[in-house]
C-alpha cells in the first residue's frame, strides 16, 4: 500500500524508567495492548454454556419451555410495557441531542482520522447488518395485518390503510435505528478515541472505572451476548420460514422442520465462509450485492405495478410518519389496551431492536472509525431508514392495493401465514419465476449477512482483541455461527416464530437497563469533550491555527510567504528536528523539571522516513496528562509547488499532536523560541481545560497507569485508501 504519511508512534522510543507516563498515539489514555488476540474465557464459557443450556432445554423440554417463556412475556407486557416505550423514546432524544450539539463534531477516533469506507459501502454494510430477511417478511405481512386488524378503530378503511403503513414504518424506523446509533456511538467513541477495548463494558468506564475489567464487565458482556444471540436467532428463524416457503413456491419443496434444518445448516456453512473471509472480503461484498439486488427487486415492483399510486403513497407515508411519530413513541394504549397486539408488534419490535443493539452497534462502530458523532448518528438514523421507507411503501402499498381491489384471499393468506405474503404478492406481477428466484437469493444473502456479522461480533465480544481493528479468532467465529443455528433450531421446535418473538421480549428487558447506563457513561465522557472545546476557545486563539507564535515573533510578510511556499524534503526536515524542535522541547522539559514537574521526553526515529519525532509528556496527578508531540508526516508534493526539494516528490510537515490527535498545523520554519511559545500555548490551554473541568475532577483520564497502543498508522493508511 502506498503511504501518504507515516503516523506518529507515541509510545516509541527511549523513556527513563522513573519517568514513565501513559503514552497515547490514538486519542486519550488507553488500555494496554494485547500481544495477540486471545479468548476471554470468563465471557466465552459463561455465554456459551448459557446458550447451549437454553437450546437443549428448548429441544428436550418443549412444553415446559413454551409455558415458562409465555408466562414471562405476559408479566413483561402487563407490568413493563410503559418502560419499553419510555426507554426507546429517551434513546431517540438522547442521540439526537448529542449529534446536534457542539460535541457532535467530535470524531470516533483521533482528530486526524478519516473514514475507512466510502459512503455507499458504509451505508450498505450498516443496512445489511441491521436489517435482514425479516424486512421481506414484515414488509407485506405487517401492513396487511394492521390494515385488516388495527389496534384501534375499524379495519379495512382508508384511515386503517394509512395507519397500517405508519405502524409498519414506526416499528422499522427511526426509533430502532436510534438504539443502534446509541450502542455504536458508545463503542466507537470509547474504543477509537479512548483506546478502551471494543466491547460493551468499555461504555461503562466513566461509571465503574477499572471495575469493568472484573466481574462487573464480564456480567455486562455476557448479558449483552445472550440478548444478542436471541435477537439474531429470531431474525434467522423468520428467515428460515420465509426461505422454506420460497422453495416451496418455486420448486414444491415441502414446508417442514427437516427442510428448515437443512436451510439452517446451509446458512451456517455460508456464514462461516463469509465471516472467516472477514469484513473486507466477505461481509462487505455480500452487503453491497445484497443492497443492489434488493433495489432491483423494489424498482421492478414500482415500475410494473401501479406506479402513480405507489409514488403518491410514498409521499403520503412520509408525511404521516413525520406528523404522527412524536405521539406514537409514547402511546402506551393506557385506556384501551390491545395486549395481544402490543405483544405481537410494538413490544416485540422494541425488545428485538434492543436485543440487536449490542450486535449491530459493535459492527457499526467497527466500520465507522474516523466519522464524527454527528455523521455517525444522523447517517445511522436516516440512510437505512430512507431505504426501508421506500421498500415498505412500495411493497406495503402494493399489498393494500390488491386487498382494496377485492383480492381478499391474498389478504387472508398474508395475515394468517406471513411467510407467504411476499411471494404471494410477487405472483401478482409478471415474470414471477425470475422475481421469486431473485427474492429467494436476496433473502438468502440477507440471512447470511446477518449470520456472519453476528458471528463476527460475538467472537469479538468473547475475545481480548489485540487492537480495536482486530477480530476474534476464526474458530470462535465458526463456533458462534453454529451456536446461533442451534439456538434458532431449538426455538423453532418449541413453537416457531412466535416463541422466538416471545423469548426476544424477555431477553430485551435486562439489556434495556444497560442502555440507561450507557447513556449515563456517554453523558459524563462527552461533558469532558465539551470542556475541552471550551478550553480552546477560552485560551489563546492561535492554538487552534498554530499561528500565535508566528504572529508574536514579528516575522515579516516575506518570511511568512517563503515559509508558506516551502515544501521541505527529508534533509531539511531532519535539520529542523535536530536544531530546532529537539532543543526547544529539551529546554522546556528542563525548566519543567526545575519547577518540580514529573515529565518524560521521548525522542524516537520514525522508521518510514528516518526523521526523529519528539514527544513531551507531563503528569497532572489524577487528571489527563499533558502531551505535546512533534511528528514528521509525509505528503506528496502538489503540482503547484514552485520548488521541489525531494527527488521522490514528497515533502514533510512537522505536525503538532496532542492526546486527541493532530492539531492540523506545521511547525517547519519556526524558530526555537517560537516552538517553545507554541508548547506553552498548548500547556496553558490544557490547564484551562482542567480548570473548566474542576467541578468533576478525576474523570478526564479514561484509563490510568497503562501504556496506550498506537492506532495512528491505521488512520493514515485509511486516509490514503480513501483518496
Burial class (CB in 10 A: 0-12, 13-18, 19+), 268: buried
Residue corresponding to grid cell 514529573 = 598
Q: Say what the pLDDT of residue 561 is.
A: 77
Q: Say what the pLDDT of residue 719 is.
A: 44
Q: Averaged over 161-172, what is the pLDDT?
A: 95
Say how many residues make up the chain: 723
Q: Say what the pLDDT of residue 245 is.
A: 93
pLDDT, one tens digit per residue, over 675-710 is 999 999 899 888 888 888 776 655 565 554 333 334
Q: Say what the pLDDT of residue 132 is.
A: 66
Cell of 266: 446451509
Predicted confidence band of residue 457 (pLDDT cuts 50, 70, 90): confident
C-beta separation of 360 from 450 below 8 A: no
C-beta separation of 651 from 637 below 8 A: yes
Burial class (CB in 10 A: 0-12, 13-18, 19+), 474: middle
Q: Say what the pLDDT of residue 118 is.
A: 83
Is residue 31's pLDDT more than 90? no
Q: Averaged over 185-202, what is the pLDDT?
A: 88
Predicted confidence band of residue 184 (pLDDT cuts 50, 70, 90): very high
Q: Name the 3-class secondary structure at 306.
A: coil
What's the CA gap between 411 and 140, in Å, rounded? 10
Is residue 69's pLDDT more than 80? yes
Q: Say what the pLDDT of residue 13 is.
A: 32
C-beta separation of 447 from 260 below 8 A: no
Neighbours of 14 (CB within 10 A): 8
Q: Say what the pLDDT of residue 344 is.
A: 87
Q: Say what the pLDDT of residue 635 is.
A: 86
Strand partners, 613: 604
Model pTM score:
0.81
Q: Say what the pLDDT of residue 557 is.
A: 73
Helix and strand counts by DSSP (H, E) for the chain: 26, 7
Q: What are φ and ψ of residue 34, in 5° steps?
A: -85, 145
Cell of 264: 439452517
pLDDT, one tens digit per residue, over 566-586 is 888 889 999 999 999 999 999
What's the CA gap between 140 and 263, in Å, rounded? 22
What's the CA gap between 584 and 578, in Å, rounded? 10
Q: Say what the pLDDT of residue 555 is.
A: 62
- Of 416, 400, 353, whose CA–CA distance to 162 is shortest? 400
Q: What are φ and ψ of residue 30, in 5° steps?
A: -135, 175
Specify the range with the lowest mean pLDDT, choosing from 266-275, 518-527, 649-658: 266-275
Predicted confidence band of residue 32 (pLDDT cuts 50, 70, 90): very low
Specify the range with the lowest mean pLDDT, choosing from 53-62, 379-388, 538-547, 556-565: 538-547
Q: Say what the pLDDT of residue 253 is.
A: 93
Mean pLDDT of the chain, nearest integer: 82
C-beta separation of 493 from 58 below 8 A: yes
Q: Say what the pLDDT of residue 276 is.
A: 67
What's the CA gap between 225 and 183, in Å, rounded? 13
C-beta separation of 189 from 522 below 8 A: yes
117 vs 616, more confident: 616
The per-residue DSSP string of 634-677 comes to EEEPPTT-S----TTSEEEEEEEEETTEEEEEE-TT--HHHHHH
Class of domain 44-167+224-531 (CATH, top level): mainly alpha
Is residue 447's pLDDT more than 80? no
pLDDT, one tens digit per residue, over 224-251 is 888 888 888 888 888 888 899 999 999 9
Predicted confidence band of residue 520 (pLDDT cuts 50, 70, 90): very high
Q: Averaged over 545-550, what is the pLDDT?
A: 49
Q: Say what the pLDDT of residue 277 is.
A: 63
85 vs 282, more confident: 85
What's the CA gap between 399 and 41, in Å, rounded? 50
719 vs 213, more confident: 213
Q: Say what the pLDDT of residue 704 is.
A: 43
- Domain residue spans in the chain? 17-25+542-692+708-721, 44-167+224-531
Strand partners, 616: 601, 628
Is residue 518's pLDDT more than 90? yes
pLDDT, one tens digit per residue, over 241-281 is 889 999 999 999 999 989 998 988 887 887 777 666 654 55
Q: Say what the pLDDT of residue 287 is.
A: 66
Q: Averaged over 499-511, what is the pLDDT?
A: 83
What's the CA gap between 313 and 401, in Å, rounded? 11
Is residue 551's pLDDT more than 70? no
What's the CA gap between 140 and 136, in Å, rounded? 7
487 vs 285, more confident: 487
What's the CA gap between 182 and 190, in Å, rounded? 12
Amino acid at each position: 500500500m502506498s503511504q501518504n504519511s507515516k503516523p506518529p508512534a507515541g509510545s516509541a522510543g527511549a523513556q527513563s524508567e522513573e519517568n514513565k507516563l501513559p503514552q497515547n498515539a490514538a486519542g486519550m489514555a488507553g488500555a494496554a495492548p494485547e500481544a495477540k488476540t486471545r479468548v476471554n474465557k470468563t465471557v466465552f464459557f459463561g455465554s456459551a454454556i448459557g446458550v447451549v443450556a437454553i437450546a437443549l432445554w428448548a429441544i428436550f423440554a418443549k412444553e415446559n419451555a413454551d409455558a415458562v417463556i409465555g408466562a414471562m412475556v405476559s408479566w413483561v407486557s402487563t407490568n413493563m410495557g410503559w418502560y419499553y416505550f419510555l426507554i426507546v423514546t429517551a434513546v431517540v432524544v438522547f442521540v439526537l441531542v448529542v449529534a446536534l450539539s457542539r460535541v457532535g463534531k467530535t470524531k470516533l477516533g483521533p482528530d486526524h482520522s478519516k473514514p475507512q469506507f466510502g459512503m455507499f459501502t458504509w451505508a450498505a454494510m450498516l443496512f445489511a447488518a441491521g436489517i435482514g430477511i425479516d424486512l421481506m417478511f414484515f414488509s407485506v405481512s405487517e401492513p396487511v395485518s394492521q390494515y385488516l386488524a388495527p389496534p384501534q378503530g375499524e379495519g379495512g378503511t382508508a384511515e386503517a390503510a394509512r395507519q397500517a403503513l405508519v405502524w409498519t414504518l414506526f416499528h422499522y424506523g427511526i426509533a430502532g435505528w436510534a438504539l443502534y446509533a446509541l450502542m455504536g456511538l458508545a463503542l466507537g467513541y470509547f474504543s477509537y478515541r479512548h483506546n478502551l477495548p471494543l466491547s460493551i463494558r468499555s461504555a461503562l468506564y466513566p461509571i465503574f472505572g477499572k471495575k469493568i475489567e472484573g466481574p462487573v464487565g464480564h456480567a455486562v458482556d455476557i448479558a449483552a451476548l445472550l440478548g444478542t444471540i436471541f435477537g439474531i436467532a429470531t431474525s434467522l428463524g423468520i428467515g428460515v420460514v420465509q426461505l422454506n416457503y420460497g422453495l416451496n413456491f418455486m420448486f414444491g419443496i415441502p414446508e417442514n422442520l427437516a427442510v428448515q434444518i437443512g436451510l439452517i445448516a446451509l446458512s451456517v456453512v455460508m456464514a462461516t465462509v463469509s465471516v472467516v473471509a472477514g469484513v473486507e472480503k466477505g461481509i462487505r461484498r455480500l452487503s453491497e450485492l445484497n443492497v443492489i439486488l434488493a433495489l432491483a427487486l423494489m424498482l421492478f415492483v414500482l415500475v410494473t405495478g401501479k406506479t402513480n399510486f405507489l409514488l403518491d403513497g410514498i409521499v403520503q407515508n412520509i408525511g404521516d410518519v413525520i406528523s404522527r411519530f412524536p405521539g406514537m413513541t409514547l402511546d402506551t394504549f393506557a385506556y384501551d389496551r390491545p395486549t395481544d397486539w402490543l405483544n405481537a408488534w410494538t413490544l416485540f419490535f422494541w425488545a428485538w431492536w434492543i436485543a440487536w443493539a449490542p450486535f449491530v452497534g459493535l459492527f457499526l462502530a467497527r466500520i465507522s472509525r474516523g466519522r464524527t458523532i454527528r455523521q455517525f448518528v444522523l447517517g445511522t438514523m436516516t440512510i437505512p431508514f430512507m431505504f426501508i421507507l421506500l421498500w415498505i411503501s412500495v411493497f406495503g402499498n402494493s399489498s393494500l392495493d390488491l386487498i382494496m381491489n377485492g383480492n381478499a384471499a391474498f389478504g387472508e393468506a398474508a395475515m394468517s401465514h406471513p411467510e407467504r405474503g411476499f411471494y404471494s404478492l410477487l405472483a401478482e406481477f409478471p415474470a414471477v419465476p425470475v422475481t421469486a428466484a431473485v427474492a429467494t437469493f436476496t433473502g438468502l444473502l440477507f440471512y447470511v449477512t446477518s449470520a456472519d456479522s453476528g458471528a463476527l461480533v460475538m467472537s469479538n465480544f468473547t475475545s481480548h482483541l489485540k487492537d480495536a481493528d482486530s477480530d476474534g479468532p476464526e474458530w470462535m467465529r465458526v463456533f458462534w455461527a453454529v451456536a446461533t443455528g442451534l439456538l434458532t433450531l431449538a426455538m423453532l421446535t418449541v413453537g416457531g416464530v412466535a416463541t422466538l418473538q416471545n423469548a426476544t421480549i424477555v431477553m430485551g428487558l435486562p439489556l434495556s437497563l444497560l442502555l440507561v447506563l450507557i447513556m449515563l457513561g456517554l453523558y459524563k465522557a462527552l461533558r469532558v469533550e465539551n470542556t475541552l472545546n471550551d478550553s480552546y476557545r477560552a485560551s489563546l486563539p492561535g492554538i487552534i491555527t498554530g499561528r500565535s507564535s508566528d504572529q508574536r515573533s514579528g516575522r515579516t510578510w516575506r518570511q511568512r510567504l517563503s515559509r508558506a511556499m516551502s515544501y521541505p524534503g527529508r534533509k531539511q526536515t531532519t535539520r529542523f528536528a535536530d536544531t530546532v524542535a529537539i532543543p526547544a522541547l529539551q529546554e522546556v522539559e528542563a525548566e519543567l523539571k526545575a519547577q518540580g514537574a514529573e515529565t518524560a521526553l521521548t525522542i524516537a526515529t520514525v522508521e518510514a522516513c528516518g526523521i526523529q519525532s519528539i514527544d513531551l509528556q507531563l503528569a497532572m496527578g489524577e487528571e489527563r496528562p499533558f502531551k505535546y508531540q512533534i511528528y514528521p508526516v509525509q505528503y506528496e508534493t502538489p503540482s503547484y509547488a514552485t520548488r521541489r526539494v525531494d527527488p521522490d516528490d514528497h515533502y514533510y510537515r512537522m505536525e503538532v499532536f496532542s492526546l486527541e490527535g493532530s492539531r492540523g498545523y506545521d511547525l517547519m520554519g519556526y524558530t526555537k523560541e517560537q516552538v517553545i511559545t507554541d508548547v506553552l500555548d498548548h500547556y496553558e490551554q490544557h490547564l484551562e481545560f482542567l480548570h473548566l473541568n474542576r467541578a468533576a475532577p478525576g474523570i478526564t483520564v479514561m484509563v490510568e497507569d497503562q501504556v496506550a497502543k498506537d492506532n495512528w498508522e491505521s488512520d493514515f493508511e485509511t486516509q490514503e485508501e480513501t483518496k
